[in-house]
Amino acid sequence: MKTKQLWRFIGIILILSLIVGIMIHFNTIITALGLTSEEGEIAEKARGLSSAFSEVLVSSVVAFFTFMANYYIIRPFDSSIQLTTKKIVSAILITIVAVTVLSDSFFAVKHLIDNQPLFRKFNLIYSIRDLFTGIIVIAGMSFIKTVYDKQYVKIEIEMLKNEKLLSQYESLKNQISPHFMFNSLTALRELIDQNAADAKLYISHLSHVLRYTLTSIESQSKPLYEELEVAESYIHLVKIRFGTSLKVETKIDDRFKNHRLPPLAIQTLLENAIKHNEISKKNPFTIRIETGSDETVSITNVIRERVTKEFSSGLGLSNLSKQYQYLAGTDISISNINNEFRVELPLLNPSSNESLNS
């Protein structure tokens, strides 16, 4: 892919370099073409055209090599490199040096080949020529970089939208999959036989989880308190299966309850922890949900890998990370230290995310 981009770039700058050469020596070309073809002047016209062609060629070559030098500074096809003031200044300085040195060197060689004297005095025309070449090169590179970055951002946004939809679809699919529904209905049947009041509560939590999953598809972010409420309903459902073997501890600072995060973020991490770890009376399992002073919410658990692993698409954490990059230009933090798995989610300040759907 990068090789194709490089060759495409070379094709573009070859055309731009030729245009620069023609523009710089346009007057020379017109003069050469304007010579009369009367007898005795044909040779003069031929020499004029030859000289104009060689000057255009030299200026085009200078522009081409200057473009290439800037390619390795500005990196127009690398979206991770920003066009900072420092980088622009560096590009300008290198362009000035490259244009001056290359132009003087190539034209000196041309003069020697044409048996013309070398002009060592300051010549305003030559300085204007070099300045014009430099301006075109810097402007051209900046334009290419800007266009590529905009296209890259558009593609990234579309990809993130698709990944968000896929993430929401995966979450919805997990909730209404036959396995999930079978377990839910089995638990519900047992509860009905044992305790009608518990069965009603179970139905209420199940309804909450499914309704929240469906309605959150239209939102880019949700308040932390809503995420905690649906997480509580989800925990109630899975506790029917695991009983006291599963424990979830929450420690939430009220200051952050209106801060936002992607829909189903906490539930995704709970599902991830429950799916990958052994939970039984012999091996009780605890998950901690807590906020930090640095405006984050973390989900932590001791690692106790299952002997028989459940199927996992591996998209949960990846999609969550990309949603954060899209929403806030930041990323989630994942750590595995001292056999403890921890995921930290940055909380988005509601005042800076008013445009996000609720």
Question: Domain segments of the chain: what residues?
Answer: 2-156, 177-352
**245 and 286 Cβ atoms separated by less than 8 Å:** no
DSSP state, 34?
T
Q: Can you list the residues of the chain whose pLDDT is less than 50?
A: 35-44, 120-122, 353-355, 358
Percent of the chain with pLDDT over 90: 20
Q: What is the per-residue pLDDT for 48?
A: 60
Q: What is the per-residue pLDDT for 325?
A: 80
- CA distances in angstroms from 347 to 88, 160, 257, 259, listed in the order given: 35, 19, 10, 6
Q: What is the per-residue pLDDT for 43?
A: 47
Q: Domain 177-352 adopts which CATH fold? A: Heat Shock Protein 90 (3.30.565)
Strand partners, 341: 301, 336
Q: What is the per-residue pLDDT for 278?
A: 92
Q: Look at phi and psi of residue 41 and say left if phi exceeds 0, alpha if psi is from -120 to 50, else beta.
A: alpha
Longest CA pairwise span in the chain (Å): 117
Burial of 228 (0-12, 13-18, 19+ CB in 10 A): middle
Q: What is the per-residue pLDDT for 196?
A: 80
User: SS3 letters for 232-245?
Assistant: HHHHHHHHHHHHHH
Q: What is the per-residue pLDDT for 44?
A: 47
Q: What is the per-residue pLDDT for 38?
A: 47
Which is nearest to 344 in space by CA: 354, 330, 357? 330
